[in-house]
Amino acid sequence: MSTPIIPLASRLQTIPLVGRPLALLARILAAGRTQARVIEVEDRLQTISTEVEDRLQTISTEVEDRLQTISNDLKIVSNALQSSLAEHKQAAAHIQALRQPLDDIWTVHRQLVVDLQAFQISSHQALGASEAALRTEILITRDDAISAVRGTTSEQLASFHGTLKHDMALLRNEWRATLARDSRALERSADALSRNMQPPSLGSPDLSAPSVYVAFENAFRGAWKVKERMQWYMPHIRALYHHREPRPVLDLGCGRGEFLQELQRNNIPSVGIDLNPAMVDVSRALGLDVSLAEAVAHLRDREPGSLAAISSFHMIEHLPFEHVLHLIEAAKRALMPGGLLILETPNPENLIVGGCTFWYDPTHIRPLPPAMMAFYVQQAGFEPVRTARFFLQTDEPDVVTIDVPVWPSVDGPLDYSIMATKPSPTP
């Protein structure tokens, strides 16, 4: 009866998890167990083999079904992503074609980015939930399988657990790779959509041309009143040349050249600079010595003490305040001892000027109160520092007061001028 047992053992050796018990059984039979015991053991082993094979087949079928379901879910998610991206691209092309106002474009852009981020977050959450559910099912299946083969040895149980753990790791890595790939696709789509919705470069408008600002000056700053104002300064300028070596007057931001013309009529040497090439052309056409230059850089290039006076009419309100302070310091260096600094600007003590007419010029940065300007000029080392205020008279010369404070009002002086002297060295 021992002859047919050897083929049966060979067959059982091909079944997982029963190889070692079979070897044990062979040794027992070789020792001369009774035929009845052999038949009983053989039937028991056959039953165990059948149960194990059935259980493994069931697990394999369940895992394959779950993987197929996951694959179908991934295809659905991928199709949804492609459809959503196609819709976003079509919306971006439509927005670009219609050329909606920039504010609307940016609003749509921000909303699309928010939607993409929300979709990405929801995808992360959905994939995470699916992974958690799959992990739970695998753990349940593992527990059931362990219960089914509880009679096997601890080594066989550890081997089975390791196989399931390996399968879980493979599935987890596959999910993570899919999630990373889909996330990168979403990011690339968002970046492409953002680049497609960048506002076009508009360039400089024709209305910002230098020649337009010349026309603006002609419209809002009457030439006859400016000429009258320039004449008021002449006695203060001529006083600089009494018993002194003649040195030129430098007019910063000379514009249309009104002050330079008045200096020329009074035989006072003068030069001017301006940043507006159209203004420079206008002044040169009048025969004036004018160059295109920036005020602070030009003052720093001048020899120390080389100028009798430095004037600036309605220029400092166009500069950042830190730049104004640099101009004051550079002017003190370039002036001769006893030289005069003139800084005329709109007066915000007149509430109509500070609240309305100052802002007619879009290149103005901020009003500069007289007391503040006088303080900083005095801190720079000028002494004395005087403040002249100009009350506009329609058909008569302006009324001018010097160092007479005023309360803010709607009928106060329209302009003021800081007139500061660089001290002479003490003998």
CA 184 to chain CA centroid, nearest Å: 23
Supply the pLDDT for residue 61. 86
Q: Which of 22-26, 163-167, 256-260 has the lowest mean pLDDT?
A: 22-26
Max CA pair span of the chain: 147
**What pLDDT sits at residue 417?**
96
Alpha carbon dihedral 127, 132, 138, 143, in 10-degree steps, equals: 180
Examine the pLDDT at 345 and tell me if it is beyond 70.
yes
Regarding pTM above 0.85, the answer is no
pLDDT above 50: residue 95: yes
Domain range list for the chain: 5-196, 210-421
Which of the listed ranges 20-29, 248-257, 390-399 does the model predict with the highest average pLDDT? 248-257
- pLDDT tier, 224 (very low <50, low <70, confident <90, very high otherwise): very low
Q: Is the pLDDT of residue 9 over 70?
A: no
- Return the structure tokens found at 104: 């609307």
Query: Greater confidence, 176 or 281?
Result: 281
**pLDDT digits 0-9 by tens, 316-339:** 999 999 999 999 999 999 999 999
CB 270 within 8 A of CB 292: no
Q: Which CATH class is domain 210-421?
A: alpha beta
What is the rounded radius of gyration, in angstroms, for the C-alpha atoms of the chain? 47
pLDDT band at 269 (very low <50, low <70, confident <90, very high): very high
**Using an 8 Å Cβ cutoff, are 365 and 352 in contact?**
no
Residue 228 has pLDDT above 50, yes or no: yes
